[in-house]
Amino acid sequence: MKRLTIKDIAAKSGVSISTVSRVLNRKEEGMSQETREKVLQVIEELNYQPNLFARGLITKQSKLLGLVVPNIQNPFFPELCRGAEDEANRHQYSLIICNSDDNAAKEESYLRLLNEKQVDGILLSSGDNLSVLTEKQLEYGNTPFVLMDRGGNSGKYNSIFVDNEKGGYLAGRHLIELGHRKVACIIGSKNLRNSNERLAGFRRAMMEVGMELPDDHIINGEFHIEPAYKQSKEFLENKNVTAIFTCNDLMACGVYQAASELGMKIPDDLSIIGFDDIPLVSALIPKLTTIRQDIYNMGRRAAKMLIDHIEKGENDIVIFEPSIIVRGSTKAI
Amino acid sequence: MKRLTIKDIAAKSGVSISTVSRVLNRKEEGMSQETREKVLQVIEELNYQPNLFARGLITKQSKLLGLVVPNIQNPFFPELCRGAEDEANRHQYSLIICNSDDNAAKEESYLRLLNEKQVDGILLSSGDNLSVLTEKQLEYGNTPFVLMDRGGNSGKYNSIFVDNEKGGYLAGRHLIELGHRKVACIIGSKNLRNSNERLAGFRRAMMEVGMELPDDHIINGEFHIEPAYKQSKEFLENKNVTAIFTCNDLMACGVYQAASELGMKIPDDLSIIGFDDIPLVSALIPKLTTIRQDIYNMGRRAAKMLIDHIEKGENDIVIFEPSIIVRGSTKAI
C-alpha cells in the first residue's frame, strides 16, 4: 500500500496543497467553514496519517524528547522513565530512550544523535558530575534539557534533585530516636555526590547528639547488592553495631543476605534503613524501612519542566523532599 | 544560535545543494574526490549536524523504532527494553518507548502515533491476545512489526516467544525429581495464555508419573505479589503441600511472605520454584530456584528480527528455550 500524501488529500478535496496544510496545522483563519470541512472529511475517508517529517520541516518541532539514563535495568530508572513518559504523552510528546552505562563517551554520542534527530528537548540523568564532553555537547547542541537526579546541582541548569543531605539526616534521626548508638553506613563510592550528601546528612544527625561515626564504620558497597553483601558480611563478623544505614535500597538487600548467613535476625539483632524506596524492597522480609524519593513524580515533573521550557521558555530548579517510610526492618533497642 | 542548514554548507563549499545532499547520503558515484573532500571539510569545520526531518523526506527512513510494552515498571520489561535498545543502537536506530497499561485503546493510540511519527518499525509486547483494534491498526499502519512475549503466537506474524509449556514442564520435573508429591500451582489468571501454557507443562510432568494436580491446588495470584501473598497464605493455612510452582517470580515473593508469616521455612518446610528469573529474585532469601527466560537476549533478538525485516524483508518466528536455574528455594524430601 502506497502511503497517502498531502497531494492525494488536496486532489480528492479539490483544494490546493497549502489549504490542506493549513487544516493539518490548525491555521485556518480566513478559510471558509465549507472548505475546512471538506478537507477534514477527505482526511477521515482516506484515513490519512500526516507525514511528521514534512510537518517537522514546517513547524520545526519533532514532538520527540530524549531520555538518557545510565541503565534502565537499575530499578530506580523504570520509575523515573514511566513518570516522564506519562507526562510527555499527556502533552503529545514521545520519548526516545538511551542507556549511557555511565560512560561519558556513550552519553555524548547519544546527545549528538538526539540532536541530529531534532528532538525538542532532552531529559538527562548523567554520570555523577557532568563530564566536559557532555557539557560541551549540551551547550553546542542548543537543545533544551533538564538534568535529573544526577549530573551536578550547581544551579547552572534546569534540574530536578532530591534533597539527599536531608534524606541522610532523616535516616540518622530515626536510628537515634530508636536508641541506636553503634551504627554503620554503607556508601555508594567515595566520590559519588549523591552518596556523599546522604552520608553528610547522616553524620549531621549523629553530631547533634554528640555521636561520632568512626571512619571504619563507613563501608563502600558501590551502590550494588553483591559488594554490599561482601563488605557488610566482613564488617559484621568483626564489628559490633546495632543498626546500618545503606545509601540505597539495593545495598540493603546485600546486608539482608549477610545478616541471614551470620544468623542475625532483622530487626531483632540488626536494624536496617535504606534509601530510594524502589519497588524491589517489597520483596524483602521483613519489609524495608527506607528514605523515600518520589521517583515516579520526579520523572513527571522533569518532563513537565522540560516541556514548559520548550514551549514557554521557563527555567526552574526543583528540589524534592525525601520522607521516611517506617516498615519492619528497624526497631527500638 | 541559528541552526545550520544544507544551504549554508553548499554556499561555503561553492557547490550545489544536491551535491551536499549526495555526500550526506553517501551517494557519491561520479563525484570528483576533490568535491567530496571539500564538502566533508566544510561539514567538519562548521560542525554541521544534518536535519533528520529533511533527510527522512529523502530517504523515507526515520531510523526510529517504537517499543510498546504494558509497563516498564514491571521488572520483566526493563530487561527486554535494554536488550532491544542495545541492538537498535548497534544498527543506528533509536527506540521510542510507550507504556500501554494493557489497555487496548491506549495501545492502539500509541500504534497510530508511532505510525504518524514515521517509525521504521514497531516492537510490540501486547496484551495477552491481540485486540481487534490493535490488529486492525497494525495491518492498516503498514509499518513493519515484531510481537514479543505476548500477543498470541498464532504463527501469523513475526514474533518471539519463550516456550512456556516446556518451562512449566521443567518446573514440574524438578519438583518430582526432588520427591514432591503434594504440590500446588499459582497461576496468573484463568485466561492468560502464558500462564495457561506454563500450567499445562507443569501438569504434563505430573501426568508422566501418574500424579494429578487437583483443581483446588490451582490458585489465582494474578501475576502480582499482593494477591499471590493473600491467596497462598489462605491456601497454606488449609492445605498440606510440600512445594509450590508460581507462574512468575513476582508471585514467588508473595509466597515467601506468606510462608514467613506462617512460620514455614523455605526450603525445609516448603519448596518454591518461580518463572522468569528477573533480577528481583536475587533479593530473596534463600535465592529463588526458577525457570529462566533469557529476557535481555529476547529483546536483542526481537530488535534484530525487526531490523532484518525492515532492511531485508526477512520474516521469522523465534521460540526461545527456557532453562532451569536451581538455587536455594527447592529441596529434596
The interface predicted TM-score (ipTM) is: 0.85
Q: Do B75 and A78 touch (CB under 8 A)?
A: yes
**Which of A48, A101, A117 should be substituted to probe chain B, the one whose Cβ sees the most B Cβ atoms within 10 Å?**
A117
The three grid cell numbers given for residue A34, joined into one nine-digit string = 465549507
| Predicted pLDDT of residue B134 | 85
A82–B72 CB contact, under 8 Å: yes
Q: What is the pLDDT of residue B49?
A: 65
Nearest CB to B116; choose among A52, A115, A279: A52
A155: region left, alpha or beta (phi > 0 left; psi from -120 to 50 alpha) = left
Q: Are B103 and B69 in contact (CB under 8 A)?
A: no
Amino acid identity for residue B179 in this structure: G
CB contacts of B109 in chain A (<8 Å) are none
Chain A residues with beta carbon closer than 8 angstroms to that of B52: 116-118
For chains A and B, count residue pairs whose Cβ atoms are closer than 8 Å: 132
Report CA-CA distances (Å) from A34 to A38, A289, B44, B60, B190.
Answer: 6, 65, 51, 34, 53
Measured from the Cβ of residue A130, the count of other Cβ atoms closer than 10 Å reads 22
Contact A49 B116 (CB under 8 A): yes
pLDDT tens, position by position, A225-276: 999 999 999 999 999 999 999 999 999 999 999 999 999 999 999 999 999 9
Residue A128 near residue A188 (C-beta atoms within 8 A):
no
> Would you put residue B285 in left (φ > 0), alpha (ψ -120 to 50) or beta?
beta
- Residue A190's pLDDT band, with cuts at 50, 70 and 90, is confident
Q: Do A95 and B97 touch (CB under 8 A)?
A: yes
Q: Which amino acid is at B176?
A: I
Nearest CA in chain B to A96: B96
A310 touches A63 (CB < 8 A): no
Q: What is the pLDDT of residue A313?
A: 92
- What is the C-alpha to C-alpha distance for residues A107 and A136, in angstroms, rounded to an integer? 12
Residues of A in contact with B142 (CB under 8 A): 1, 3
- pLDDT, one tens digit per residue, over A266-296 is 999 999 999 999 988 878 999 999 999 999 9
Residues of chain B contacting A327 with CB distance shorter than 8 Å: none
DSSP code, position B322: P
C-alpha span between A98 and B76 (Å, rounded): 18
pLDDT at B279: 86
What pLDDT does residue A268 have? 97
Per DSSP, what are the bridge partners of residue B116? none
Report the C-alpha gap between A145 and B84 in whole angstroms.
25
Percent of chain A with pLDDT over 70: 93
Spell out the per-residue pLDDT of chain B, length 333, in tens.
456 778 888 888 889 888 888 877 666 778 888 888 888 788 767 777 666 556 665 667 889 999 999 999 999 999 999 999 999 999 999 999 999 998 888 998 899 899 888 899 999 998 777 888 788 888 877 899 999 988 766 778 999 999 999 999 999 999 999 999 999 999 997 778 899 999 999 999 999 999 999 999 999 999 999 999 999 999 999 999 999 999 999 999 999 999 999 999 999 999 999 999 998 887 899 999 999 999 999 999 999 999 999 999 999 999 999 999 999 999 999
Residue B288's pLDDT is: 96
By the CB < 8 Å criterion, does B115 face chain A? Answer: yes
Q: What is the tens place of the pLDDT at every residue in B223-266?
A: 999 999 999 999 999 999 999 999 999 999 999 999 999 999 99
pLDDT tens digits, A151-174: 766 778 999 999 999 999 999 999
**pLDDT value for B1:** 43
Q: Which residues of A touch B53 (CB under 8 A)?
A: 53-54, 56-57, 62, 118
B318 touches chain A (CB under 8 A): no
Check CB contact of A86 with chain B, cutoff 8 Å: yes
Is the four-CA dihedral A321, A325, A330, A333 of positive or negative sign? positive
Model confidence pTM above 0.90: no
Q: How far apart are CA B123 and CA B151, in angstroms?
A: 11
Is B66 within 8 Å of B310 (Cβ atoms)? no
How far is the C-alpha of A320 from the C-alpha of A294, rounded, in Å? Answer: 8
CB contact under 8 A, A96 and B284: no
The domains located in chain B, with CATH, are 6-50 (1.10.260.40), 63-162+295-322 (3.40.50.2300), 164-293 (3.40.50.2300)
C-alpha distances in Å from residue B231, one per residue of A36, B240, B250, B289, B311: 58, 14, 14, 21, 49
SS3 B67: strand
| Helices B132-141 and B104-116, axial angle in degrees (round to 10) | 10
Please give the backbone phi and psi of residue A318, each rounded to the nearest 5 degrees, phi first.
-120, 130
Q: Do A118 and B89 touch (CB under 8 A)?
A: no
Is A253–B282 a contact, with Cβ atoms under 8 angstroms apart? yes
Can you count the helices (H) and strands (E) in chain A? 12, 12
Asked whether residue A52 carries a pLDDT value surpassing 70, the answer given is no
Q: Residue A316: its pLDDT value, please?
A: 92
**Nearest Cα to Cα of residue A93 among B60, B3, B96:** B96
Q: How far apart are the first and last CA of chain B?
A: 73
Query: Nearest residue of A to residue B55 by CA position?
Result: A53
Distance CA A331, CA B225 (A): 25
**Rounded mean pLDDT of A305-310?**
96
What are the residues facing B98 on neighbouring strands? B68
CB A137 within 8 A of CB A80: no
Under DSSP, is residue A68 helix (H, G, I), strand (E, B) or coil? Answer: strand
Q: What separation, in Å, do the N-terminal and C-terminal C-alpha atoms of chain A show? A: 73
Contact B280 A284 (CB under 8 A): no
Mutate to test the interface with B, among A52, A82, A140 (most CBs of B within 10 A): A52
Does the beta carbon of A241 lie under 8 angstroms from any beta carbon of chain B?
A: no
**Cα–Cα dist A108/A135, whole Å:** 9
Measured CA to CA, the distance from residue A327 to residue B192 in angstroms comes to 34
Q: Which of A32-36, A70-74, A303-307, B41-45 has the lowest mean pLDDT?
A: B41-45
CA atoms within 13 A on the CB side of B107: 27
- Distance CA(B65)–CA(A248), nearest Å, equals 34
